[in-house]
Structure 1
Amino acid sequence: MSDKPVIVYGASGYTGRLICEYLREYNVPFTAAGRDAGKLKSSMETNVAGIETAQYEVATTEHTVEALTELFRGASVVCNTVGPFARYGPEVVEACLAAGVHYLDTTGEQDWVITCDEKYGADFAAAGLLLAPGVAQMYTTGEIAAQLCLEKPGLDTLDIAVFWGGSPTIASTQTILVNAAMSAAHYLEQNTYQPWDPEAGLYQLSIPGQHELALALPWGGTSHPVWFRKDPRVATVRALGGVFNRPLMLGVPQIVAAALEATKDMDLDAKYDALDATAAQVMNQMPPRENPRLNKSLDSVHASGPLGRAHCVIHGNSNYKQTGLLQAYAAYSLLQQAPRTVGFASASQAFGHRELLGALRAFGLVMEPVLTVES
C-alpha cells in the first residue's frame, strides 16, 4: 500500500525517470515502482535531476493483479510505462480498477488503446475513474494540434503527421516491432476502422519546415483514430509518423519484415522472446539525455470539411521530455480536481487541449502553434 498519491510504474526506464523529474517540479510526492529495488534506487539518484528535493519512495512489486492492487491502494494515480502494453498492460489496468485509482500510460500500441476503450472503458466510467492510455508526445501533442483545428466548426477529416528527432528508447523499439508483428494498423474512415495496407511500405510526406520529402509509416496506426472515433465532429482520421533521420527510416521496413518472417510460425511466448531479441539488436542501451538542438519534434495536422480548411503546426523539442511532462501534469491535475470526463479518454478530452499546450509552453518544450484557417 502506498502513502504517496502518484505511482510511476516502470520508473527506472528512460520515460519513467522523466516523469519522476517533472513530478518533482510540480512538487508531487510519488512512488518509484518496479521489479528491481537496486535499479530503481540507482536510476532515481543518478538520472533524475533534482531528486534530492523530491518527496518519493522506492517500491518493488511482482507483475500480478494481486501484487499491483496491494501496491496501488492508497494512491490516486498510476503512470504506467511498462510495455509492450498489450502484453503487460492488462494486469496494471485491472489492478487500478480494483484499487480505485486513475490510470495513465505512454503506449504507442493502437490495439492496446482499442482494448482499453472496448474492454475496460465502461468499468472505469462506472467507478468514476479515468483510463487514459497514450499520454505521450507522439500522440498527445498531435492531438492538441488537431483540437486547435477543430475549434473551427464544420471540419470532419484529420490528416495527421508526427515527426521527431533522435533514436527510440529500448522500450520504444520493442513497441515498434511488437506493433508490426502482433497487430494490424488502422485508420478511421467514416467512423469505421479500416486497415492500412501492410505492403505499402514507406510514405513520402511534404512536412512544414523542410524542402526534402520526409519518410513516414502508419506506426501502428497511432491513438488518434481511436480517440476521435466517438467524436461527433470527426468522421475520418489518418495518422503517419516518422523520425527525421532518413537512413534510419529507410531501414525500418527491412527490420520489421525480417522480424515478421522469423516469428511467423512461433507460438505467442516464443514470438515475444524473439521480438525482444531483435529489438535488443537494434537498440540495447539507453539513449543519452535529449539535446533540444538535436531532438526536435513536429506535429502537423490538416483538418478539412466540405467548406473549410485548417492547418496547425506545433514545433517542439525533446519528445521524451514532452511525454514526461504530459504525464506529470496529468497526474498533478488529477490530484487537484476531477477530470473533464471519466472512463476511456485521451489527455485532451480529460484535461483540455489548451491546458496541456500551456504546460508544454510553460516548460519551453513547444513553440506557439502556427494555425491557419480558411473558409
Structure 2
Amino acid sequence: MTASTKPVVVYGVSGYTGRLICEYLREYHVPFIAAGRDGKKVQEVVDRIPGIETADYEVVEVSHDVEALTSLFSGASVVCNTVGPFIKLGPEAVEASLAAGCHYLDTTGEQDWALAAKEKWGQAFADAGLLLSPGVAQMYTTGEIAANIALETVPGLDTLDMLVLWKGFPTYASTQTIFTILKADWFHLQNNQYVAWDHRATRECVVPGQHGTALTVPWGGTLHPVWFKDDPRVATCVVTGGVLDRAVMDGVVATTGMFEEQIRPLDPVAQEAALSDIANGLQADMPPRENPRINTSIDSVHASGPLGRVHVAIHGNSNYKQTGLLQAFAAYSLLQQAPRRVGFASACQAFGHRELLGVLRNFGLVLNPVVEAHT
C-alpha cells in the first residue's frame, strides 16, 4: 500500500455517508482518496456521485488493519472514517491516523466508543497536535449547535434537556450501530456525574412546531453528555431521540425489550451474531437519496438554570447530507488552519458552533434557529 497522494482520506466510501462526504469534498474542491475494503464497490459508489468527473480523487482498496491503513493515511492530513460499528472497527483507523500524523473524524453514534476513544487516545492526539473528533454528524453536532446557542443566550444555565428527531429510515451502517449499542451501558449526565440509563426507558416528547408527540429513546445515551462532561457551564445533560415514524420506534422499543430478555443472557459471540441477523433483516440495502421535502430533522434544546430558561429549535432536512457536509467542512477547515482544540474534542469545540451553523445554512440544510428566552 502506497501513501496517500491526497490531503483527505475518506475511509468507508462503499456506504451511504461516505459517498456524501466525497460529494461535499468535491464541492469544496478538496482532493481526496475514496477508500474501502472492497475497491470495486467503492468505485461503483463514487461513479454515482453527481459531478464526480470534476473532482480530484483516487479510489483505493485497503485491508482493515493498522499497518495497511497507516501506509495509506501517510501523506494525508485528515481521515474521515465511516467504518462502523466503531467500538468494533474503529481502533485500527484511530491507531493508523495517529501513526500517520492525521486528524481523525468519524460519524459514530456510539457513546461507548467516544468514551473509549477519549480515554485511550485523547492525550496522545493532543500531544501530537492532532484532533480526535468522533461523532461529527447531524445526530450530535446539530443538536450541540442548538445547545451552545442556548447557553450563550442566557448566562447561568446549567441543565440541558435535548431532543433529536428526524424523518426517514436508518442506513445499513446506522442500523448495525443501533443494535451494537444495545450491548453497552448508556449514560446521561446528572450533576456532572455519569448516570446509567435503563435500556427500556422511553419518553413521549412534544414535537417542536407540531401539535403531536413522538416516542423517543435514549439512543445509546448519545454523545452530548460526553461533550458537556467537562464543560463548566453544564452540570446536567439528558438526551433522547428517534425517528418520527411511530411504527419504527415501536419496533425499536420491542427489539430492545427482546434483547434484554432473550439475547443479553447469551455469551458475547452469540449476542453479536443474533443482533447482526436482526439488523440485516431490517436494512441490508442502501436507502434512496434523501428528499428534503420528506426527510426533515428537528434538534430541540430546553436549557434551564435557577433564574432562566431558553428553548432553541433547529429545523432542517436531509440528516445524512448534514453529516456529509459537516465532515467535508471539518476536513476543509483542518487543511487551512489548526482546530480550536486538539486532542479529543467535539465538532463545535474544534470549529465553533456559529461557524458550523453558517455552513449548514449556506447549503440550505437548516433554518435559522428558533430561540425563545425567559429570564
TM-score in same-fold range (> 0.5): yes
Residue 278 of structure 2 aligns with an amino acid whose one-letter code is T
Aligned partners of 2:156 and 2:308 also within 8 Å: yes
- 2:193 equivalent in structure 1: 192
- 2:321 equivalent in structure 1: 321
Query: How far apart are the structure 1 equivalents of 2:47 and 2:275?
Result: 31
Query: How far apart are the structure 2 equivalents of 1:52 and 1:259?
Result: 46
Aligned partners of 1:177 and 1:259 also within 8 Å: no
- 1:279 equivalent in structure 2: 279
Aligned partners of 1:8 and 1:16 also within 8 Å: yes
Aligned partners of 2:165 and 2:299 also within 8 Å: yes
- 2:304 equivalent in structure 1: 304
Selected match of 1:175 from 177, 185, 188: 177
CA-CA distance at 1:277 after TM superposition: 1.4
Query: How far apart are the structure 1 equivalents of 2:61 and 2:133?
Result: 24
Aligned partners of 1:6 and 1:31 also within 8 Å: yes
Query: How far apart are the structure 2 equivalents of 1:16 and 1:167?
Result: 17
Query: How far apart are the structure 2 equivalents of 1:322 and 1:369?
Result: 15
Residue 113 of structure 2 aligns with an amino acid whose one-letter code is W
1:89 aligns with 2:71: no
Query: How far apart are the structure 1 equivalents of 2:44 and 2:130?
Result: 33
Query: How far apart are the structure 2 equivalents of 1:95 and 1:158?
Result: 35
TM-score by length of 2: 0.97
- 1:31 equivalent in structure 2: 33
Aligned partners of 2:85 and 2:177 also within 8 Å: yes
- 1:154 equivalent in structure 2: 156
Residue 221 of structure 2 aligns with an amino acid whose one-letter code is G
Query: How far apart are the structure 1 equivalents of 2:193 and 2:211?
Result: 34
Written as runs of structure 1 = structure 2, the 5 A alignment for 1:310-349 is 310-349=310-349
- 2:367 equivalent in structure 1: 367
Residue 293 of structure 1 aligns with an amino acid whose one-letter code is R
Query: How far apart are the structure 1 equivalents of 2:251 and 2:77?
Result: 42
Written as runs of structure 1 = structure 2, the 5 A alignment for 1:210-359 is 210-359=210-359
- 2:165 equivalent in structure 1: 163
- 1:103 equivalent in structure 2: 104
CA-CA distance at 1:265 after TM superposition: 4.4
1:12 aligns with 2:1: no
CA-CA distance at 1:196 after TM superposition: 1.0
Query: How far apart are the structure 2 equivalents of 1:236 and 1:120?
Result: 26
Would you say how many aligned residue pairs link Structure 1 and Structure 2?
A: 372
Aligned partners of 2:361 and 2:368 also within 8 Å: yes
Residue 294 of structure 1 aligns with an amino acid whose one-letter code is I
Aligned partners of 2:200 and 2:257 also within 8 Å: no
Give the 3-state SS of the residue equivalent to 1:336 in structure 2: coil
CA offsets 1:121-170 (integer angstroms, 9 cap, x no match): 11110010000000000000000000001112101100000000000001
Aligned partners of 1:242 and 1:249 also within 8 Å: yes
CA-CA distance at 1:285 after TM superposition: 1.0
CA-CA distance at 1:263 after TM superposition: 3.3
Residue 124 of structure 1 aligns with an amino acid whose one-letter code is F
Aligned partners of 2:200 and 2:256 also within 8 Å: no
Give the 3-state SS of the residue equivalent to 1:63 in structure 2: coil
CA-CA distance at 1:261 after TM superposition: 4.3
CA-CA distance at 1:363 after TM superposition: 0.2
Q: Percent identity?
A: 64
Query: How far apart are the structure 1 equivalents of 2:235 and 2:259?
Result: 34
Written as runs of structure 1 = structure 2, the 5 A alignment for 1:105-124 is 105-124=106-125
CA-CA distance at 1:262 after TM superposition: 4.5
Query: How far apart are the structure 1 equivalents of 2:139 and 2:12?
Result: 19
Residue 298 of structure 2 aligns with an amino acid whose one-letter code is L
Q: Which structure 1 residue ranges, 5 or more long, are not aligned?
A: none
Residue 131 of structure 2 aligns with an amino acid whose one-letter code is L
CA offsets 1:82-102 (integer angstroms, 9 cap, x no match): 000000001111111111100
Aligned partners of 1:259 and 1:278 also within 8 Å: no
